[in-house]
């Protein structure tokens, strides 16, 4: 499905696992550059590398606690 999002930037919170990670992958599949945020820096780095390699988009991890 083409949602015409190619080249857009999105921020996904809770992206170290579960629904957040699935959303990050879905946006990347649509061609979005993805900023992923969660508390676990190690998981974010791993997920960012995997998503960037698979979908050829820019993925920027942000380790933070949004409370």
52 conformational bin, left if phi > 0, alpha if psi -120 to 50, beta if neither? alpha
Q: Does the predicted model carry a pTM greater than 0.85?
A: yes
The pLDDT tens digits of the residues spanning 22-61 come to: 999 999 999 999 999 999 999 999 999 999 999 999 999 9
Average pLDDT, the chain: 95
Q: Which of 7, 58, 3, 62 is nearest to 34 (CA)?
A: 58
pLDDT of 3 over the 90 cut: no
pLDDT band at 67 (very low <50, low <70, confident <90, very high): confident
- Calculate the CA 3 to chain-centre distance: 17
- Which domains are seen in the chain, by residue range? 9-63 (3.40.50.720)
């Amino acid at each position: 499905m083409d949602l015409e999002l190619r080249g857009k930037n999105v921020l996904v919170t809770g992206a170290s696992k579960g629904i957040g990670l699935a959303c990050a992958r879905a946006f990347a599949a649509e061609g979005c550059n993805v900023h992923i945020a969660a508390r676990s820096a190690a998981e974010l780095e791993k997920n960012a590398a995997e998503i960037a390699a698979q979908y050829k988009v820019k993925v920027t991890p942000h380790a933070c606690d949004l409370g």
